[in-house]
């Protein structure tokens, strides 16, 4: 069976549409690039100034001068474009990124997200998250549903906010949740997971309207 991160990344990739400009956050979100559906052509954008980014570079393919925003060596596709970070953030702030996929520490039922700092602890910082959350047309949080059994979905975030009323969808190993006027709306459940399971792991009401679909899983 695929591991948790693969399950989440595979499901997020089903939201990609042909022609999208997409920004993938560091960590789990980068795995989404491995599951782009057949026939879908997207352009991966990196905050440090790339459009046309490919996967992580390995071995002889590594070019030390080509890194993503997390400092990881990556490949690029033919025709990729390089530019300075001012232009890159102009693209983001100008609303030209169709979808961003980010991790999170907390998300609440209003779509508020905390993703960049835990007071009193060392953290990598926000990077381009504030700009992406505000500028991207669609914001998907890709994360495990709990942290060592503790909820990450709340009625109200308690950590410093990275963005307010910005999240559209949350994909975890348990299911797919959309943010609506009602709060957390359950759309899909992973195989073997019940509504009761996902509610027990969520520190806010999870609403069910209509049919709940089964979340698609990656092939073995």
Beta bridge pairs of residue 138: 99
Strands 43-46 and 50-56: antiparallel
Catalytic residues: 47
Q: 3-state class of 176 per DSSP?
A: strand
CB contact at 8 A, 154 and 145: no
Predicted TM-score (pTM) of this structure: 0.93
- State residue 24's pLDDT score: 94
The CATH homologous superfamily to which domain 6-214 belongs is Glutaconate Coenzyme A-transferase (3.40.1080.10)
DSSP state of 47: T
Give the mean pLDDT per block of 10 residues along the chain (220 residues). 89 97 92 93 95 91 92 92 95 97 96 88 75 96 96 97 97 98 97 97 96 91
* Strand, coil or helix: 134: helix
Find the farthest-apart pair of alpha carbons in the chain and give their distance in angstroms, rounded. 51
């Amino acid at each position: 069976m695929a591991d948790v991160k693969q399950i989440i990344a595979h499901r997020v990739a089903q939201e990609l549409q042909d022609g999208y400009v997409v920004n993938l956050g560091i960590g789990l979100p980068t795995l989404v690039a491995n599951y782009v559906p057949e026939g879908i052509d997207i352009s991966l954008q990196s905050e440090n100034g790339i459009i046309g980014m490919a996967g992580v570079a390995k071995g002889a393919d590594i070019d030390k001068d080509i890194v993503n925003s997390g400092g990881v060596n990556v490949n690029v596709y033919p025709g990729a474009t390089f530019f300075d970070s001012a232009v890159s953030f102009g693209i983001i702030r100008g609303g030209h990124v169709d979808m961003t996929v980010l991790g999170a520490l907390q998300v609440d039922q209003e779509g508020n997200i905390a993703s960049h700092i835990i007071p009193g602890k060392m953290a990598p910082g926000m990077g381009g998250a504030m700009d992406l959350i505000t500028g991207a047309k669609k914001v998907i949080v890709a994360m495990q549903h709990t942290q060592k059994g503790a909820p990450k979905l709340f009625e109200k975030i308690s950590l410093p906010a990275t963005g307010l009323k910005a999240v559209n969808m949350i994909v975890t190993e348990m299911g797919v949740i959309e943010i609506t006027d009602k709060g957390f709306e359950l759309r899909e459940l992973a195989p073997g997971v019940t509504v009761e399971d996902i509610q027990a792991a969520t520190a806010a009401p999870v609403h069910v309207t209509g049919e709940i679909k089964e979340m698609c899983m990656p092939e073995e």
